Amino acid sequence: MASKHMATGRNGSTPTARTTPTARTTPMASQPGQSAHFAPAGQEGSSRRAASPRVRTSKRPRRKRSALRVISTLLIVVGVGLLLAAGGLWGYAQFRYYKQSKTNEALAEHVTITDKTSDATEDASGCPIDVDWAALKAVNDDVVGWIYVPGTVVNYPVYQGVDNDEYLRTNALGEWSVGGQVFLDWESTPPGMVDHQSVIYGHHLWDGTMFQPLSLLDDQEVFDATDTIWYVTETNEYELQPLFMYYATPYDTTVRNFRFDSDEAFRAYLQEQFTRAVTMRADAQQLIAGAMHVLTMSTCNYYDGYGRSILVAIPKHEDQPVTQPVEQPVEQPVEQPTEEAYAEEGQVSEEETWQEESWEEESWEEESWQEESWDESSQEETWQEESWNEG
């Protein structure tokens, strides 16, 4: 800083102020987390000495941060791996469904579905299905029928194996398949609709194919909207109508009853199953009273405590109430006899009366003769007895 007292020069000029040289400054060491400041030269050492001694910091926080980074990285890698695995499984599942649908589409090429509303193209029986059985048997001769539900994707061949596992996950080509094929129970009499109850099975697939549409009939509106189910064999066509649906477990053996000792025993069985119904026809009990055959379709459901949805369908030709109007007997007109008839009837009566009187007279005379003969015999026996006594 310049001196406050300024001397006057000899020549009267004012000399420049003498200033002390500016001290050099050097940065002072700062504590961790503090900004650096500068100290005048010469005080550097003292500043260093005045500064707090260096303290060794622990390396543990740094190691902890490193461990967290490793864990987060691993979690990200695992999450990405799981996403990739899930995507791969989803893709594989879609591929399996695609392969299943292609197999069924190839089989459906052997069937022609006719628009039933067109009378010109409808066959005499009214069945809209024309099946090339020879072509289907060339693929797999275990085929026994074809099931078709108008308005749904249900349009599949029906096979029957040596057991109920053969077509559970095996298609008609003998390859593993997620949906297998629709199949008739191995204990049912082929080709179906022969026993009192014929049972067929189909998977409930998540892509909405196979028997998935039938599982929706546990909704009464859907049930009422489903009017017709066709089951076609090589020799017969059956037009059926849903009767009722009920739930069961996979271990419910009452579902697999096929033959009964009598129609009455079969109807009692249907009545018992009907008590478990979740959807039904309004006149179901009347129809059960006259049922002779039913086609029962079983598929999976995913409800706790159950696992199976069972749809019972009845042929439409048996779809008539048993109660029929009682026919009243027709009264026949009574013919009035004519005078000639009266005359003939009178003659006959007189003749019959004369014959009867003659017969009675003859009988009386014969009885009188027999009585007289008996009296004479008695007298003779009495005379003989008296003679014997005298002797």
- Check residue 366 and give its pLDDT: 56
Start-to-end Cα distance in the chain: 216
Residue 54's pLDDT band, with cuts at 50, 70 and 90, is low
Query: Is pLDDT of 288 > 50?
Result: yes
- Which of 164, 244, 249, 156 minimizes the C-alpha distance to 205? 156
* Section 211-221 average pLDDT: 97
Please report the DSSP string for 78-99 in residue order: HHHHHHHHHHHHHHHHHHHHHH
Q: Would the pLDDT of 13 be above 80?
A: no
Over residues 76-105, the pLDDT tens digits come to 999 999 999 999 888 888 888 999 999 999
DSSP 24-49: PEEEEP--TTS--EEEETT-HHHHHH
Q: What are phi and psi of 226, to 5 degrees?
A: -95, 105
Average pLDDT over all residues of the chain: 79
pTM for this entry: 0.64
- For residues 233 and 70, the model is more confident at 233
Q: Is the pLDDT reported for residue 107 higher than 90?
A: yes
User: What is the C-alpha to C-alpha distance for residues 215 and 246, in angstroms, rounded to an integer?
Assistant: 10
* pLDDT of 272: 97
High-pLDDT (> 90) share of the chain, %: 56
Say what the pLDDT of residue 285 is. Answer: 96
Q: Which of 83-92, 152-161, 344-353, 357-366 has the highest mean pLDDT?
A: 152-161
Amino acid making up residue 331: E
Q: What are the b/e assignments for 314-328, b being 16+ CB within 10 Å? A: bbeeebeeeeeeeee
What is the number of alpha carbons within 13 Å of residue 152 lying toward its C-beta? Answer: 24
pLDDT (0 to 100) of residue 122: 45
Q: Which residue has the higher pLDDT, 361 or 114?
A: 114
pLDDT value of residue 70: 86
The CATH architecture of the domain made up of 103-318 is Beta Barrel (2.40)
Domain boundary assignment for the chain:
103-318
* Mean pLDDT in residue range 49-72: 69
Instruction: Give the pLDDT confidence score for residue 31 in this predicted structure.
Output: 53
Contact 208, 153 (CB under 8 A): yes
Distance CA 107, CA 112 (A): 11
pLDDT at 281 over 60: yes
In the predicted structure, residue 58 carries a pLDDT above the cut 90: no
Banded model confidence at residue 340, pLDDT cuts 50, 70, 90? low
Which pLDDT tens digit goes with each residue over 133-186?
999 999 999 999 999 999 999 999 999 999 999 999 999 999 999 999 999 999
- Checking if the pLDDT of 310 tops 90, the result is yes
| Helix%, strand%, coil% for the chain, nearest 5 | 40, 20, 45
Q: What is the mean pLDDT of residues 219-229?
A: 97
Q: What are the Cα distances from residue 270, in Å, to 230, 250, 276?
A: 21, 19, 10
Q: Is the pLDDT of residue 355 over 70?
A: no
* Each residue's pLDDT tens digit, 234-279: 999 999 999 999 999 999 999 999 999 999 999 999 999 999 999 9
Nearest-angstrom CA–CA distance, 39 and 6: 30
List, in sequence order, every residue forming a beta bridge with 157; answer none if it has no partner.
146
pLDDT value at 289 more than 50: yes
Q: How far apart are CA 274 and CA 284, in angstroms?
A: 9
